[in-house]
């Protein structure tokens, strides 16, 4: 076979049994085609980011308006859109990101959350629904407050609360009249968090999820407001994920996602009194429950089939489901606290794909054509001229089947000359899905074959697959990335000496691990806010994230050798690929110190390395000018070192 001859050097791995996941047919690399497309052209990077993004949405109580978070101005602020169509009105003006909006039951106020410079210390604000100056509800600067939900009578707001120095997230109540705050939960452990889900119909209780730091165990609780007593509604043995998204109006059912039956998350109705599941799907792919209709007769659920998702409406009485008629891609229910309009006649959903940016649509429940509410794309962003993602599957070193999205440039010759780029995702408990991927589009439209694998450790393929990289970070999952590069070469289009790698967060970590541990596989790399040393991460990162890190790597004293073996700092001196480092100065997840270590080590070893730091940015870049700059620098770096364009600068196109 052609790819057995690919000259990619990597550290040998022990022979292991393939990790179980849903069955998928392998893709023959020779079947991949670069199509002829006279309309294909490099997508302007400015246009990719002047194409708007959306972050959250909420129906007004009367169903006449929708408030959305969008970056029309280059910042994620709140805008109000008539549900029947019409011009949006800007509600807030801030240099910082604002989202998570929800309306008060009387329709007079909109509550939302905002941090400062990406520091993730979110404060709650309220803005009059008819316009006016926002009011700060939670002024403490070192306490993060998220997920606001009004009580049915509008007298209280439940939300998640986490002091900066605390490992645990709890649930608190805010009195709407006085703005006084009291805690509902007092988490004693360091490795659990609470997440508010819903109010009871009578307003006497709050429903919440309690989740462990490794996201491998969760249960649903009901908290009585008068006494503060918390009752576990989903008791279970061992580690099982049971997470609620809604409670039915009569309190009988919880809409949950659970892996109790098969190890894969499945949508279900959970009978609170009987402690019994009614599973909504037997699909081998994971699914998640959504919200109940206002009359409690229907519930939404979503199936995530290998990174592409569809929305279903389930009738509780007759047990029948129907799929919402939406274009293929990534379709998700939207709306806080519910996707249903107040009268239950319409749904708010989000749709995007590899060639279409995310937009909100209004879907009639009784039938009929959905209507697009927002229009994010610039006229220059034409789906027919963009590279579209392809879902491919390949075997890794131990026979485990890996899913990946592939973006193939148009008009390539199958002569083994094209450059390629591997795009590892963040997490590691995350998944690359069929979204509007600006990095992939910028690269593929410029002749780079791009591939984004869902390596072991990813979500979406069952708990066994998710746990497959525990205490082996940068081991088997790195090999899955290397075999993605092998797949590119096996197509016959890609030169094995012209393969780059780039990612952010855990994708940045994987980029650093790749160029240090498998140096001969990569010709260039760009890492964004990636981890270089797990031990120094423990010293500087957010307290809850320390617990997450330990859930993956073990005890830092007993398992110190694992921390060392799984840290890029152990291997980075062997890196050969020129490296560009991009980092936010206010990052609490992967602090700036990690990036500074990378630069210091490589400069000391006389390697090619450059770095750029973005003030007033945290974990991920949200300000438009910084997003543009980061992608321009990334493309220019690969142009220089993969296309041998020594004078490549920061292109404006």
How far is Cα 219 from Cα 235, in angstroms, rounded to an integer?
7
Kindly tell me if the per-residue pLDDT of 248 is higher than 60.
Answer: yes
Please report the DSSP string for 76-88 in residue order.
Answer: -EEEEEETTS---
Residue 63 structure tokens: 């169903």
Q: Give tens-digit pLDDT for 463-514.
A: 999 999 999 999 999 999 999 999 999 999 999 999 999 999 999 999 999 9
CA neighbor of 613 nearest in space, from 588, 644, 635, 586: 586
Residue 574 structure tokens: 């062997």
Kindly tell me if the per-residue pLDDT of 330 is higher than 60.
Answer: yes
Confidence at 541, pLDDT banded by 50, 70, 90: confident
Beta strand pairing status for 494-504 and 418-422? parallel
Q: Give tens-digit pLDDT for 637-649.
A: 999 999 998 776 6
CA neighbor of 392 nearest in space, from 344, 317, 454, 313: 454
Confidence (pLDDT) at 3: 24
Q: Give tens-digit pLDDT for 86-119.
A: 999 999 999 999 999 999 999 999 999 999 999 9
Q: How far is CA 313 from the centre of its chain?
A: 24
CA neighbor of 212 nearest in space, from 228, 236, 229: 236
| Rg of the chain over all Cα atoms, to the nearest angstrom | 24
The whole model's pTM is what? Answer: 0.92
Q: How far is CA 139 from the centre of its chain?
A: 28
Kindly tell me if the per-residue pLDDT of 653 is higher than 70.
Answer: no
Residue 588 contacts residue 618 (beta carbons within 8 Å): yes
Residue 524 structure tokens: 């260039």
Q: Which residue has better confidence, 609 or 283?
A: 609
For residues 35-71, one letter each, b for 16 or more C-beta atoms within 10 angstroms of the residue's C-beta and e for the rest, the string is: eeeeebebbbbbbbbbbbbbbbbbbbbebebbbbbbb
Per DSSP, 155 falls in state S
CA neighbor of 177 nearest in space, from 153, 159, 199, 204: 153
Confidence at 17, pLDDT banded by 50, 70, 90: low
From 3.30.830.10, 1.10.287.180, 3.40.50.1820, 3.50.50.60, which CATH number describes the 387-641 domain? 3.40.50.1820
Residue 328 structure tokens: 């293929």
Residue 273 structure tokens: 């009194």
Kindly tell me if the per-residue pLDDT of 11 is higher than 80.
Answer: no
Confidence (pLDDT) at 580: 98
Residue 311 contacts residue 329 (beta carbons within 8 Å): no
Confidence at 393, pLDDT banded by 50, 70, 90: very high
Which helix (H) or strand (E) segment holds residue 246: the answer is: strand 242-247
Confidence (pLDDT) at 7: 26
Beta strand pairing status for 609-614 and 579-584? parallel
Residue percentage of the chain with pLDDT more than 90: 89
Sheet with 54-59, strands from edge to edge, namely 54-59, 65-70, 77-82, 89-90
Residue 37 contacts residue 411 (beta carbons within 8 Å): yes
Confidence at 540, pLDDT banded by 50, 70, 90: confident
CA dihedral over 456, 458, 462, 467, signed as positive or negative: positive
The size of the chain, in residues, is: 653
Q: Give tens-digit pLDDT for 554-577.
A: 999 999 999 999 999 999 999 999
What SS3 state is found at 284? coil
How far is Cα 597 from Cα 515, in angstroms, rounded to an integer?
15
Q: Give tens-digit pLDDT for 428-462.
A: 999 999 999 999 999 999 999 999 999 999 999 99
390, β-bridge pairs: 406
Residue 157 contacts residue 625 (beta carbons within 8 Å): no
Confidence (pLDDT) at 6: 26
Rounded average pLDDT over 361-375:
94
Confidence (pLDDT) at 8: 26
| Mean pLDDT, rounded, of the chain | 93
Confidence (pLDDT) at 22: 81
How far is Cα 68 from Cα 88, in angstroms, rounded to an integer?
9
Confidence (pLDDT) at 382: 86
Domain extents in the chain: 387-641
CA neighbor of 200 nearest in space, from 208, 210, 192: 208
Residue 344 contacts residue 336 (beta carbons within 8 Å): no
Torsion of CA 65, 67, 73, 75, to 10 degrees: 180
CA neighbor of 600 nearest in space, from 609, 591, 592: 609
Confidence at 229, pLDDT banded by 50, 70, 90: very high
DSSP helix, strand, coil percent of the chain (3-state; round to 5): 20, 35, 50
Q: Give tens-digit pLDDT for 135-161.
A: 999 999 999 999 999 999 999 999 999
Q: Give tens-digit pLDDT for 275-285.
A: 999 999 988 99
Which of 42-46, 222-226, 376-380, 404-408 is predicted least confidently?
376-380
| Residue 274 backbone phi and psi in degrees, to 5 | -95, -10
Which helix (H) or strand (E) segment holds residue 484: the answer is: helix 476-490
Residue 256 contacts residue 209 (beta carbons within 8 Å): no
Kindly tell me if the per-residue pLDDT of 12 is higher than 60.
Answer: no
* Neighbour count for residue 166 (Cβ, 10 Å): 17
| Residue 83 backbone phi and psi in degrees, to 5 | -65, -25
Confidence (pLDDT) at 349: 98
């Amino acid at each position: 076979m052609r790819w057995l001859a690919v000259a990619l050097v990597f550290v040998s791995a022990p022979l292991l049994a393939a990790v179980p996941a849903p069955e998928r047919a392998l893709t023959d690399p020779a079947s991949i085609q670069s199509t002829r497309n006279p309309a294909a052209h490099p997508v302007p990077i400015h246009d990719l980011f002047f194409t708007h993004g959306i972050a959250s949405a909420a129906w007004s109580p009367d169903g006449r308006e929708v408030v959305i978070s969008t970056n029309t101005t280059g910042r994620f602020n709140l805008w109000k859109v008539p549900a029947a169509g019409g011009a949006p009105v800007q509600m807030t003006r801030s240099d910082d990101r604002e989202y998570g909006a929800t309306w008060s039951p009387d329709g007079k106020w909109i509550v939302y959350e905002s941090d400062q410079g990406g520091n993730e210390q979110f404060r709650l604000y309220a803005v009059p629904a008819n316009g006016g100056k926002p009011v700060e509800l939670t002024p403490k600067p070192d306490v993060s407050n998220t997920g606001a939900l009004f009580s049915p009578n509008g007298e209280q707001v439940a939300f998640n609360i986490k002091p900066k120095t605390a490992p645990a997230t709890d649930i608190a109540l805010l009195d709407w009249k006085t703005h006084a705050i009291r805690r509902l939960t007092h988490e004693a452990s360091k490795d659990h968090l609470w997440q508010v889900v819903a109010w009871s119909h009578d307003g006497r209780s709050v429903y919440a999820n309690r989740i462990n730091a490794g996201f491998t165990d969760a249960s649903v609780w009901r908290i009585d407001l008068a006494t503060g007593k918390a009752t576990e509604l989903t008791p279970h043995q061992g580690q099982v994920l049971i997470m609620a998204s809604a409670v039915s109006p009569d309190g009988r059912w919880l809409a949950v996602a659970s892996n109790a039956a098969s190890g894969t998350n499945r949508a279900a109705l959970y009978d609170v009194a009987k402690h019994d599941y009614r599973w909504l799907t037997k699909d081998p792919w994971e699914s998640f429950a959504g919200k109940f209709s206002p009359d409690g007769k229907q519930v939404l659920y979503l199936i995530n089939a290998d990174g592409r998702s569809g929305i279903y409406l389930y009738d509780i009485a007759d047990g029948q489901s129907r799929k919402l008629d939406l274009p293929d891609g990534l379709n998700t229910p939207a709306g806080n606290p519910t996707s249903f309009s107040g009268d239950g006649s319409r749904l708010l959903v989000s749709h995007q794909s590899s060639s279409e940016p995310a937009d909100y649509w209004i879907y009639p429940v009784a039938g009929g054509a959905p209507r697009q509410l927002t229009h994010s794309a610039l006229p220059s962003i034409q789906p027919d001229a963009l590279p579209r993602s392809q879902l491919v599957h390949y075997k890794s070193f131990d026979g485990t089947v890996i899913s990946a999205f592939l973006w193939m440039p148009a008009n390539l010759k199958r002569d083994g000359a094209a450059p390629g780029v591997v795009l590892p995702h963040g997490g590691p408990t995350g998944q690359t899905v069929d979204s509007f991927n600006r990095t992939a589009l910028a690269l593929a439209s410029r002749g780079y074959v791009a591939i984004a694998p869902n390596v072991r450790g990813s979500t979406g393929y069952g708990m066994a697959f998710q746990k497959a990289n525990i205490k082996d970070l940068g081991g088997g999952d790195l090999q899955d990335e290397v075999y993605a590069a092998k797949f590119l070469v096996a197509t016959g289009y890609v030169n094995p000496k012209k393969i780059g790698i780039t990612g952010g967060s855990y994708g940045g970590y994987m980029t650093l691990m790749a160029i240090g541990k498998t140096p001969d596989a990569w010709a260039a790399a760009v890492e964004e806010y990636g981890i270089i040393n797990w031990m120094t991460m423990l010293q500087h990162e957010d307290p809850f994230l320390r617990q997450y890190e330990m859930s993956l790597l073990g005890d830092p004293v007993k398992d110190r050798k694992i921390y060392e073996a799984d840290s890029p700092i152990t291997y980075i001196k062997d890196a050969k690929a020129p490296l560009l480092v991009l980092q936010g100065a206010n990052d609490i997840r992967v602090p700036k110190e990690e990036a500074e270590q990378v630069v210091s080590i490589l400069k000391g070893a006389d390697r090619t390395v450059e770095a750029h730091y973005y003030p007033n940015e945290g974990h991920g870049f949200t300000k438009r000018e910084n997003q543009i700059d980061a992608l321009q620098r990334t493309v220019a770096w690969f142009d220089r070192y993969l296309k041998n364009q020594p004078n490549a600068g920061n292109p404006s196109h």
